[in-house]
Every structure is written in C-alpha cells, then in structure tokens.
Structure 1
Amino acid sequence: MEPKVFLAAGFGNYMTESGFIPERKQEILAYYNELHENGALVFNSHVNEAWGNNGLPPEECMRDDLRALLASNCLCALVDNSGSNGVAFELGYATSIRTPIVLVTQVFSDLSSMIRGIGEILELRVVEGALGDPAVIKRACAEVIELATKRANSDRFWDNKDITRIFKFT
C-alpha cells in the first residue's frame, strides 16, 4: 500500500502581489518531489490551490484539509518562524486523530510548549536544520516514508475496506 502523506507548510505569509514567493515554493516542492520519488502519495494545500492562483473558499479549504488529514498515514510539517495558523491547526488536528508527525524546523526548542509537547502523546520525529538544506530534506523525507509506511501497513481494522461488511453497516 502506498503511504499517504500530508505535507504542511505556511501559506499566507508567503503570498505577495506577484504570487507565492519562488524560493519558498522551491523549498516545499523539494519535499513534495522527494516524497513522491520515494513512493508516497502526497497532499499539499499549495499544490491543491495552484500556489494561491486557485484559492479555495474557507469551507472548501477546510474540507479538503480535513479529508486529507484523515486519510494520511503521516503529517510532515515544515515549521518556520512565520507563525502559520494553518500549520498550527493541522498539527493540532493530526495530533487529535493520532497521526504520526515529522516536524521539520530550524530549532525545535524555539517552538511553543504545545508543539514541543506533541511527542508526549504520539509518535513525533523532529528534524532540525535549514528547511531548504538538501540534507535536511532527505533526512526528513526518509523519516516520513518510514512512519507513513509503518502506519499504512499496520493492522488498523477501522481502515479495512471490508469494515462495512464486518460491522454490518447499512
């Protein structure tokens, strides 16, 4: 089974009048492409919304994010110092549904106590370093693939396609 990954990164703070900041786009695409090259199916809001060119209304944005988070085997969160409300929400939601998380950040100890505490209740792997550093990208994506594959292949009976038949849902 192909692992499904939700790739989260700040959005609004990187939009300008001329569009999404190219350097940040390349950084996010580096993770997106690395994950694809390693066999993952990837959901990313930036790609979903054509880097801001096809922005979704709030209800569609929320719907798409929640559906993708529910279906994902792992969340890969690129957390910088921009203070993205969207990424904070996605981290919280993934935590509430116990989705494993790989958090990529410059300095983990600089993040809020809430974010640093995620690892107390679920599997959290932290990769520190410059988000655009190729070595950081490789290391983070390897962690994501490992966690996502492990979860995709786990015996989570509620994900079974036969669940309707097994529990006689009608």
Structure 2
Amino acid sequence: MTTKKVFLAGPFKSLVDENTGLMSLHERGKLESLISFFENEGWLVHNAHKREGWGKDFMTPQQCTKIDFDEISTCDLFVAFPGSPASPGTHIEIGWASALKKKIVLLLENDRDYAFLIQGLNVVADVEYINFKDTDDLLEKIKSILMK
C-alpha cells in the first residue's frame, strides 16, 4: 500500500514572534493538531513550519522554495490556511497546487476576510473549503472530508 502525502501550508514568517524567534503556541498548536491527525490516519505530512523548527531554523529562500515546490508536486492532497491578512508565500503555494491540479482543501477561520481569488478558486481548481470556529471544529470537518 502506498502512503498518501499531504502538504500542509499556512502563514509562517508573519506568525514568528520577533522576541522569541518562534511561532506562538496557539498557531503552532493548530498545525500540530493537523499534523498529528494526518499522521494517525497514515499520511506522510510535509510542513515547512515543523521542518524549520517553528521559526528557529529558517532555510534560505532558494532552499525552501525548491523543497516546497517539489513536495507540492508529489503530494496527494494540499491543505492550507490562506491567511487573513493574506500570506504571500502561502498564496504562491496555493497557486502551484492549483496549477499542478492537486486536490486542495482551504481552511478558513470564521469571521475572517479572505482574498477574492481564494474565495473563487473552486471555479478553476479542485477545491474544498472548510469554514471553522476552533481547532476541534476544524478536525471534525477534516475527518468528514477524508471519509468521502
């Protein structure tokens, strides 16, 4: 049986505290919950936040760009928090996933504003939207999508 691969994307540099050099525990917790969920379901998870030590081990732009593009190219599922305000890096990754014809799941927090091209991406790509209020709600909704 082949292991399925998921690429988990989201804002990064804007969430790193300039004093500690690390992401906040709240933001990190959302990603860790999703990483654990997917791993427990048997998926191989690629996530730059974890790869780069939650902010303490940033790679060079050339390194992370190449790795992320290659990982998106070979993933079975692309999952992303687009960011509100928009995360430029995450939006580039969403564009790559769309152009590469990947199944995309976009995670949208309730009561946030998202770019129009994020809201309308489903007209040109295979996109499923999950609107959620908290991490527990998000995990329940991700489970229901994977069970389809």
Find 2:132's aligned residue among 129, 133, 148: 129
Cα pair 2:85 2:113 within 8 Å, conserved:
no
Find 1:67's aligned residue among 70, 73, 97: 70
State the TM-score, normalized to the length of structure 2: 0.89
Identity of aligned residues (%): 20
Say which one has the larger Rg.
Answer: 1
**Which residue of structure 1 lines up, in the alignment, with residue 106 of structure 2?**
103
**Which residue of structure 1 lines up, in the alignment, with residue 42 of structure 2?**
39
Could you list the runs of 5+ residues in structure 2 that have no partner in the other structure? Answer: none
Cα pair 2:8 2:46 within 8 Å, conserved:
yes
Cα pair 1:108 1:128 within 8 Å, conserved:
no
* Cα distance between partner residues in 1 of 2:111 and 2:119: 7
* Cα distance between partner residues in 2 of 1:108 and 1:79: 14
* Cα distance between partner residues in 1 of 2:93 and 2:147: 20
**Structure with the largest fraction of helix:** 1
* Cα distance between partner residues in 2 of 1:27 and 1:137: 10
Distance 1:142 1:35, change over 3 A: farther
Deviation at 1:82, TM superposition (A): 3.3
Q: Can you list the C-alpha shifts for 1:108-143, whole angstroms capped at 9, x where unaligned? A: 99322211221112211111012x431222312542
Structure 1 vs Structure 2 CA RMSD = 1.9
Which 4+ runs in 1 deviate beyond 4 A?
none
Deviation at 1:107, TM superposition (A): 4.2
Q: Can you list the C-alpha shifts for 1:1-56, whole angstroms capped at 9, x where unaligned? A: 22110000110111112121111111110011101111111000001111111110
Higher-RCO chain (CA-CA 8 Å, sequence separation at least 6): 1
State the TM-score, normalized to the length of structure 1: 0.78
Distance 1:106 1:46, change over 3 A: same
Cα pair 2:80 2:107 within 8 Å, conserved:
yes
